Structure 1
């Protein structure tokens, strides 16, 4: 029973420590600032949207783009359809006609078949194809499942030009579209805040490099200098790989929180969530077995163990009262209250919903499973897919 008490004390200290670290990270994190100007910026910008089987998302993305404040004098949107097997291409053509009134500022092209001499994976190929079709000063890569606020791109472009940033990436608000996301995404957000401190990413003296694939704004000459997506053709987690290349060239990398300016619809159901995170987890930790396993254990201990201990101690307490078990129950209860307080604080301070917070215990078990599955898939290639495409074969 004394062992359970020690575990409960650990869960409380861990929950409190995690909250303090996350709170510090959020408070000290730079946010994208709004610019009160209606004048297009004197530069050129192309937005490239790689799209593979995005018929459920592409309409919302393009509709949001049709309503943005014009970011630059010369401006273009290029959708690169990566040989979708659904109605993505047709959907974009319809939107071009009905929403954009056949404007030349929106173009859709096909990526064509991937070359067989290289193991092109993920969205690297359509991004590469798109980058070869443009000549603007700036390139913005966004995912087809993002929804942009009216001022988001303008504010980002202004910031990048003013501060001479070579790669500016934004952290979006992650929308939860299914119960599985409500259980898992808040945990993943916590891990990213702890594992990739924004202050370290933005510090040129620090080797930590991070970028979010849904929004990556490059100075074109810097993008070409690091080799662009051709240099990361076989990288599944290409956003972090590109961020590292920027820093390795002593170029300026900046990562900002923009949860009020851009939102992201990552997954539609449990299966796609498992497929998506299991392709990224192990590679995101640089295939470091120790970090991956210890990270999964941390998640279980921090998010799932408090719930298990709480219910176990309650059952024991009702059947066989003891001071140790009472204290165990109280400490695990405090750990759960700490997590709830963190979620309430995030909701009040940053409008991040606290819905289904009480399911984080199940979420911790799911993340633990994802981490082990990711290791297995990455090493063996079995089931290592994204939207049905085998990542081990391109």
Structure 2
């Protein structure tokens, strides 16, 4: 996708987009790229991803029977679903001929409406579809079906070369209980495959993960830690008969589901299909505090103008280093407060948002010695008189912000200070109050 095409998909303008050098290798979902940019103005954009299945195979009985290149006309690395063409159908429904026929029919009916149809992947199908696995899950019956296809170069597809590739379809139950395609996938150069999918039309849902021979863990929630970092903790999957099936907790946020090779030291990039956000749907609008205003820079103290020019980038760089590596879409702050605390530390204030999570606010302190501390302020209340109020450590005061407001403070009912616009550093003290004057309305907020 070009930068022009991306801008057309954004609901608002983009100031700058920086794609990492390995983007093409790690960010394709059925030929559509995930863009990990800096400071997107809108988070309604679609995103992402089928990323390479890294790690070596382990010596257990998995679906990944080692195949010779001449078995499918190309290497397993170039045809990551090729191993599913080998052997007989596995799973507890492998002998249910009626169900297997339903799966094949669901696969064949789905091509015309597939999100990959315009890439021509179904134009030259070869041989017959094969059900690689069919089984019972807590959310009903499910299956994986594969078929080979001769793929050719054209404008809407990325290939190492023209030739035979294996397509995969992931099948669950529709609302009427019949076999229904959840999603399909094909290989793109330099990447592996989607290894998991979510099934269950209503009520109970299950995650089904292919056994590719590597140790894999799963997670259903992101953790935001007190040190300002975020992460997923992964529970190892147990594979049986070629898959792992996990019943998902009631009310689980499907956007938060992740798979990762273990140990989960870096980005796993094992994609899950059947999850709207990860497949590229809109995330419900930009949830940041003031996304419509353009880039905003607010002095919180006097004598800090040297911090102004680098404030947004410095804030973004620190929060980027600490964020969950499994995030698909990252929204940086469009505003930054900057100043110096009583001990001479550099103070930055802003927000950061991951995927479809609520936005979170952060203060960043950098001491004279160069050590950096992130102080998380949690999820802000956009409708509050003072949406941003973060208590700083070691008696450095409070960092506060409200766009377009005049902010002044006082201690123990004393006199109000001169107001400062938009953001301010409030010194530590007893019975501290902030007066917020916004569009002629005055409100008093006590800091705790």
Q: Shorter-chain-normalised TM-score: which range?
A: under 0.3
- Between structure 1 and structure 2, the one with the greater Rg is 2
Q: Which one has a larger percent strand, Structure 1 or Structure 2?
A: 2
Give the TM-score normalised by structure 1: 0.24
TM-score when scaled to structure 2? 0.22
Larger relative helix fraction: 1
